[in-house]
Amino acid sequence: MLMLAGAVVGTAIAMLVAVGVSSGARTKTPVVAFVSQGTSNSWAAQLDAVARKTAKRLGVKLLYFNGQGDATKQLPEIQRAIAQRPDAMVLVPLGQAADTGPVERAMAMGIKVILCDSKVNSNNYTSLVNPNPATATVPLAEWLAKKMHYKGNLLYIGGLPGNGTTILYDQGFKKVLKKYPNIHVVNGGNANYSISTAKQLTATAIASGKTFDGTWGVGGEAVTGILQAYVDSNVRPIPPNAGAAATNGSLRLAIENNVQAAMLQFPPADSKVCIETAVKAINGQKVPKSINISALPAYGNLYPPLKRYYKPQYSDDLYVGTDAVLNHSELAAIHLVK
């Protein structure tokens, strides 16, 4: 009887251990909370589509939180994401200062935090994946200075004053231009990442009668506005242009109008790297504290000839590189196929 009882207990313990071991060994589906910029523009739409596809490919359960393109609306979404206690959180920060607290709280709870495309005011995160415009603009500005033969007027159309990305763009640009005193920078104003404003500012600058030997635009919208203003003003040849970010539309305008142009990438397709990094971190792999997207070959600066990057079958809103991740039907689903 005692032996029987011992056998039953022993079997029960063995079964419990076996169940415990097997459940621990079971490959658990990683859960990643993706707090995106959200429904706001084509860049964000591509960022989201790439993130979703990457998560599916990697077998990740992706919890999506929509920042609605606004830091104040994104903040409660971050709180909701943390409350789900995911294994990792991929955050596209819209408020550098406001998002700092929640990021530190998530880290304290053991959630891996991958910052995608922007920083927060803290070093307490798992990994930062973003382009580095401060360094990536240096070779672009050098390229433009060379095209200008290191002299003449350079029309500058800025981004959004005080914006973190704009500041980084300006750092690299100013660093280079300081070296060439014979290049006179003409400030055309801030386009605030608006094509319409960039076009109006450039049209005014052109109409002033000044001739420009080069143009620089902060943001894809500025570059597009600059080129569109030149096209409509019938001033030929259109001076060489450099700036960011590389969209199919800015490439089209440059190619159609024979403009020598060089562009930095701020690719929404980098959400692929963000999700991959999150999964690596969940799996216990060591991930770099900072991943400079601009240094990766797929996301490097674009130089002439630009025809190799332009995709005529897709709309102007396509960012270079998105079509490397999304197939034709996936691009069509987000209105990127003509």
Partner 1 sequence: MNDDGLLEELPVTGAQPLRGWHPHHRLGLYALPVLAALVVASLLAVLEPNFYRTANLHVLMQQFAVLGLVTLGQLLVLLVGGIDLSVGAVMNASLIVIALMNQHHDHLAASLAACIALGVAVGLTNGLLVSLRDVPPFAATLGMTACVEGAILVYTKGVPAGNIPSSLRPVALSGVGIVPYSLIICIGIAAALVFVLRRGTFGRKIYAVGRSPEVARRVAISTTGIRVSAYVMCGALAALAGIILSAYVGYVDPKIGGDYNLKSIAAAVLGGVAFTGGEGGAVGALAGVLFLLVLLNVVTLSSLNPFTQLIVQGVVILVALSAFQFIKNRSAV
* Residues 113, 119, 121, 126, CA torsion sign: positive
Regarding 209 and contact with partner 1 (CB under 8 A), the answer is yes
Instruction: Tell me the CA distances in angstroms from 160 to 105, 199, 221, 231, one per residue in order.
Output: 30, 15, 11, 24
Looking at beta carbons only, is 24 or 209 nearer to partner 1?
A: 209
Strand, coil or helix: what is 123? Answer: coil
Regarding 336 and contact with partner 1 (CB under 8 A), the answer is yes
Looking at beta carbons only, is 237 or 288 nearer to partner 1?
A: 237
Query: Contacts with partner 1 in 176-195 (CB under 8 A)?
Result: 186-190, 192, 194-195
Contact 59, 34 (CB under 8 A): no
| CA nearest neighbour of 287 among 88, 92, 104, 21 | 88
Q: Give the β-pairing of 31-36 and 214-217.
A: unpaired
List 86, 95, 139, 158, residue binding partner 1 (CB under 8 A): 158
Q: Which residues of 80-101 are buried (b: 16+ CB within 10 A; e: fewer)?
A: ebbeeebbbbbbbbbbeebbbe
Q: Which stretch binds partner 1 (CB under 8 A): 4-12, 35-43, 88-96, 295-303?
A: 35-43
Regarding 197 and contact with partner 1 (CB under 8 A), the answer is yes
221's tokens = 């919208």
Looking at beta carbons only, is 45 or 278 nearer to partner 1?
A: 45
List 136, 168, 205, 306, residue binding partner 1 (CB under 8 A): 205
- Phi, psi (degrees; rounded to nearest 5) at 84: -75, -10
Regarding 232 and contact with partner 1 (CB under 8 A), the answer is yes
Regarding 317 and contact with partner 1 (CB under 8 A), the answer is yes
CB of 187 vs partner 1, minimal distance in Å: 5
List 62, 201, 244, 278, residue binding partner 1 (CB under 8 A): 201
Regarding 199 and contact with partner 1 (CB under 8 A), the answer is yes
Regarding 280 and contact with partner 1 (CB under 8 A), the answer is no
Question: x-or-dash pattern for partner 1, window 44-83, by CB under 8 A?
Answer: xxx-------------------------------------
Site size with partner 1, rule: CB under 8 A:
44
Looking at beta carbons only, is 31 or 167 nearer to partner 1?
A: 167
> CA-CA distance, 338 to 324, in Å (whole number)?
17
Regarding 248 and contact with partner 1 (CB under 8 A), the answer is no
Strand, coil or helix: what is 216? Answer: strand
- Residue 279: how many other CB atoms lie within 10 Å: 22
Regarding 315 and contact with partner 1 (CB under 8 A), the answer is yes
Contact 250, 315 (CB under 8 A): no
List 61, 79, 121, 316, residue binding partner 1 (CB under 8 A): 316
| CA nearest neighbour of 73 among 107, 43, 37, 41 | 37
Instruction: Tell me the CA distances in angstroms from 19 to 26, 113, 232, 336, one per residue in order.
Output: 10, 32, 72, 49
CB of 17 vs partner 1, minimal distance in Å: 51
Regarding 221 and contact with partner 1 (CB under 8 A), the answer is yes
Q: Give the β-pairing of 261-264 and 241-244.
A: parallel
Regarding 257 and contact with partner 1 (CB under 8 A), the answer is no
DSSP 272-297: HHHHHHHHHHHTT----SEEEGGGSG
Regarding 40 and contact with partner 1 (CB under 8 A), the answer is yes
Looking at beta carbons only, is 45 or 116 nearer to partner 1?
A: 45
Residues that bind partner 1 (CB under 8 A): 39-42, 44-46, 158, 161, 186-190, 192, 194-197, 199-201, 203-210, 221, 224-225, 228, 231-233, 249, 315-317, 334-336
